[in-house]
Amino acid sequence: MADEASIDPAEVTGEGVRRRDFINIAAVSFAGVGGLAVLYPLVSQMSASADVLAESSTEIDVSAIAPGQAIKAVFRKQPVFVRNLTPTEISEADKVDAASLRDPQTLDERTKEGKKNWLITMGVCTHLGCVPLGAGEGEVKGEFGGYFCPCHGSVYDTAARIRKGPAPKNLEVPPYEFTSDTVVKIG
Partner 1 sequence: MSFPWANEYKPGHPLMQWLDEKLPLPRFVYNAVGAGYPVPRNLNYMWNFGVLAGFCLMLQIVTGVILAMHYAANAGVAFDSVEHIMRDVNWGWMLRYAHANGASAFFVVVYIHIFRGFFYSSYKAPREMIWLLGVVIFLLMMATAFMGYVLPWGQMSFWGAKVITGLFSAIPLIGDPLQQWLLGGFAPDNAALNRFFSLHFLLPFVIAGVIILHIWALHIPGSSNPTGIEVKQESDTVPFHPYYTAKDGFGLGIFLILYCAVLFFAPNMLGHPDNYIAANPLSTPAHIVPEWYFWPFYAILRAFTADFFFIPAKLMGVLAMFSAILVWFFLPWLDTSPVRSGHYRPLFRKFFWILLVDVIVLGYCGGSPAETKYVLISQIAATYYFLHFLVILPLVSSIEKPEPLPFSITEAVLGKDEGAVLNATPAAA
Beta-strand ranges (E) seen in 36-117 are 58-61, 70-75, 78-84
Nearer to partner 1, 110 or 127 (CB): 127
78-84 β-sheet, strand order: 70-75, 78-84, 118-122
| Residues that are catalytic | 152
Nearer to partner 1, 87 or 129 (CB): 129
Nearer to ligand FES, 110 or 127 (CB): 127
The secondary structure of 166-182 as a DSSP string is: S--SPPPPPPEEESSSS
The b/e string for 27-66 (b: 16+ C-beta within 10 A; e otherwise) is eeeeeeeeeeeeeeeeeeeeeeeeeeeeeeeeebebeebe
Rounded to whole angstroms, how far apart are CA atoms 150 and 159?
Answer: 18
74 binds, among partner 1, ligand FES, none (CB under 5 to 8 A by kind): partner 1
**Is residue 152 part of the contact set for partner 1 (CB under 8 A)?**
yes
Number of residues that bind partner 1 (CB under 8 A): 29
**Is residue 104 part of the contact set for partner 1 (CB under 8 A)?**
no
Distance of closest approach, residue 125 Cβ to ligand FES, in angstroms: 3
* Residues 56-85, interacting with partner 1 (CB under 8 A): 72, 74, 76-79
Distance of closest approach, residue 124 Cβ to ligand FES, in angstroms: 9
Number of residues that bind ligand FES (CB under 6 A): 13
Rounded to whole angstroms, how far apart are CA atoms 140 and 147?
Answer: 7
- Which residues of this protein are in contact with ligand FES, per CB under 6 A? 125, 127-130, 149, 151-154, 165-167
